[in-house]
Amino acid sequence: MTTLHRLCLLGVFGGFLIGCASTTEKLLLDADRTPAAEVIRRSSGNAAGITGMSGTGSVTFESPEMAGSVFFTIAMRKPDSMLIRFEGPFGMDAGFFFLSRSRYLMYNGMENRVFSGVPTDAGVRWGIPLDLTVDQILDAFTGTFRFPQGMDPAQYAVDGDYFRLTYRHADGNESFWVDPATSLVARYERTGGAFGIRAETSLPEEQGRQRMPRQITVEFPDTGRRLSVYYSSLSMNPGELSFKYTVPRSAAKY
């Protein structure tokens, strides 16, 4: 093999490696050398870069009143539109949930009932027994946890394999565990206040420069409620999204 051939092969192989390499630059897991501001900037920038998504998967919920699991398809356009279609056993159409800043509508196909209203700060009670705000619902399905604006963390340190940033509020503490490899919040916890929250994310998916977890679990330990989302397929920032839905005229309205 000539020198020229070797150079050509090295060039092709090198190009292949570059093409397959991750576009995510890993943060140095050192609180002394990696500023908290950079961790926040990377994590918040990734979340802001996801303006829309679609996917399929399953959602599981647990509460003192009831528990269950259902398959779904989702279309979301941040910051204000989401349509989830639920599928029951054997591919049966179980209904859908539409959400915007001005309206929400939940159709239960099994009972042919429709619930609708205007989202409020008190939350939206949708297809599961959890009262969540519009932002909390959108964040729950994208694994997003927002850092407090205009505040510096009271504590910043390395905790195991993650950066941990803790903020102090008048009614409790709020902590974020950020993965240095993906800049995703792998764990979140809020204590005190009206209710506490614990959340975990895993199975990071990378598409272009955006990352999002495929497994998201949000728990409200004070009330015994838990929501878990798993994506079997996921597309970040897809070109086209549809939010069309139809409610049967025979549906009972509530």
pLDDT tens across the length of the chain (254 residues): 443 333 333 333 333 333 333 455 899 999 999 999 999 999 999 999 999 999 999 999 888 887 888 899 999 998 889 999 998 766 667 899 999 988 889 898 888 999 888 887 555 655 555 567 788 888 889 999 999 999 999 999 999 999 999 999 998 999 999 999 999 999 999 998 777 899 999 999 999 999 999 999 999 888 888 989 999 999 999 988 999 999 999 999 88
Residue 251 inside a domain? The answer is no
One domain, residues 122 and 67: yes
In this structure, the answer to whether residues 128 and 209 fall within a common structural domain is: no
What's the whole-model pTM score? 0.83
Question: Number of folded domains in the chain?
Answer: 2
* DSSP assignment string, 159-215: ETTEEEEEEEETTEEEEEEE-TTT--EEEEEE-SSS--EEEEEEEEEEETTEEEEEE
Domain of 133 in residue numbering reads as: 51-141
Residues 157 and 121 in one domain: no
* 162 and 97 share one domain: no
Does residue 180 lie within any of the structural domains?
Answer: yes
